[in-house]
Amino acid sequence: MATPASAPNPIKEAANIIAAEDDTDVFMYNAEIKRPYDRELFDLCGKRIRRKNVALILASEGGDPDAAYRIARCFQEHYDRFTCVIPGYCKSAGTIIAIGAHELMMSDAAELGPIDVQMSKRDELEEWQSGLTLTSAIRALHEHSFAAFEHFFLTTMQRSKKRVTFKTATDIAAKLTAGLFGPVFQHIDPMMVGESFRATSIALHYGVRLDMHSENLLEDSLDFLISKYPTHGFVIDRAEAENLFKRVKKPGKAYETLIDALEETAYDPLSGNAEIRSFLSDQREEEEDRHGDNEEANTGETVPRSQSRTLAPAAD
């Protein structure tokens, strides 16, 4: 049974308190990150009588890095200050969006993830694999092959009591290492290596451009996010994020109230018709508008019902 329109909406009430106190529009994005959602967001922000700042409540399993970049850019371009609030699960392309924020708020349950651009599996339709998989495999092969070469070389020199010359020992070690690892390296597809490099490059360039505006990444953090974590699902909690970002904090009381009102939708990524991509707070009243170039009120703040569900408290 639907809640009557006149009934109190704790989600909107909590969002409007934040809006009034901090001059901040509150937007929730709990959905896959993909096109054309980025264009929808630009339309919503462009038509809205905006406040000075924006807070994005973000939950997502990730998606398209191009769309993630556009979404972060949208908030950067339309607002003076962009805060990204992570109550729960937010991975991969979601981390790209977070890089674009001037500040992160992460609850105790929050977890970001490495920027791991997904690649299509060879000869598999609609199946994807982590871009970190090939990179990690090549790094492991490099380390093991070097260790094998070193072992063969040192063993040859020691057992010959240095009667074998340096050049001869090097040649022996090289041939043994090539014989052991050559067949493995032959199975590496150069096209897959190139695709992995391209995927990593995409994340790097988007991250650099977003951080030029937000200035929230610590030195070398972007490289760490892209290539230093071992798995796609690695948990980057608030304590870990503080080693990567300059401005990370726990949500204050007003934000905690909003997160509590949102319940599981703040924490767990949604899909399909359950996705949420909408402003939670009311827009600024026209007479309060501080942006003289934005005179058209937005009467359709949410995306179409077929693509987004309305946030309302359940009926008793």
What H or E segment, with its residue span, contains residue 20?
helix 10-22
- Cβ-Cβ contacts under 8 Å for 69 (sequence gap 6 or more): 96, 100, 206, 209, 210
Confirm if 54 and 232 have CB atoms less than 8 A apart.
no
Name the E strands within the chain: 24-30, 53-59, 81-86, 103-106, 118-120, 128-130, 248-249, 276-279
As given in the structure block, the two tokens for residue 98 are: 């977070």
Q: How far is CA 306 from the centre of its chain?
A: 25
Q: Work out the pLDDT band at 181, boundaries 50, 70, 90.
A: confident
Mean pLDDT of 274-300: 69
pLDDT of res. 35: 93
Q: Work out the pLDDT band at 231, boundaries 50, 70, 90.
A: confident
| 74, 33, 36, 312 alpha-carbon torsion, rounded to 10° | -90
d(CA 3, CA 260): 19
pLDDT of res. 105: 98
Percent helix, strand and coil across the chain, each to the nearest 5 = 50, 15, 35
What H or E segment, with its residue span, contains residue 148?
helix 131-159
Candidate CATH numbers 3.40.605.10, 3.20.20.70, 3.90.226.10, 3.50.50.60; the one for domain 10-120+211-286: 3.90.226.10
Percent pLDDT > 90 in the chain is 58
Q: Work out the pLDDT band at 206, boundaries 50, 70, 90.
A: very high
Confirm if 32 and 59 have CB atoms less than 8 A apart.
no
Beta bridge partner(s), residue 7: none
Q: 189: how many CB neighbours lie within 10 A of its CB?
A: 11
Q: Work out the pLDDT band at 288, boundaries 50, 70, 90.
A: low
In residues, how long is the chain? 316
Looking at residue 64, the DSSP 8-state letter turns out to be -
Q: 228: how many CB neighbours lie within 10 A of its CB?
A: 12
pTM: 0.73
Of 119 and 77, more confident: 77
pLDDT of res. 30: 98
Q: Could you state, in order of their start, the residue ranges of all structural domains in the chain?
A: 10-120+211-286, 132-188
Amino acid at 224: F
Which stretches of 27-130 are DSSP H helices? Answer: 37-47, 65-78, 93-99
Lowest-pLDDT range of 92-96, 97-101, 161-165, 168-172: 161-165
Lowest-pLDDT range of 35-39, 79-83, 193-197: 193-197
Lowest-pLDDT range of 152-166, 181-195, 300-314: 300-314
The average confidence (pLDDT) of the chain is 84
As given in the structure block, the two tokens for residue 266 are: 């703040």
Q: Work out the pLDDT band at 133, boundaries 50, 70, 90.
A: low
Most confident listed range (75-79, 198-202, 281-285, 286-290) = 75-79
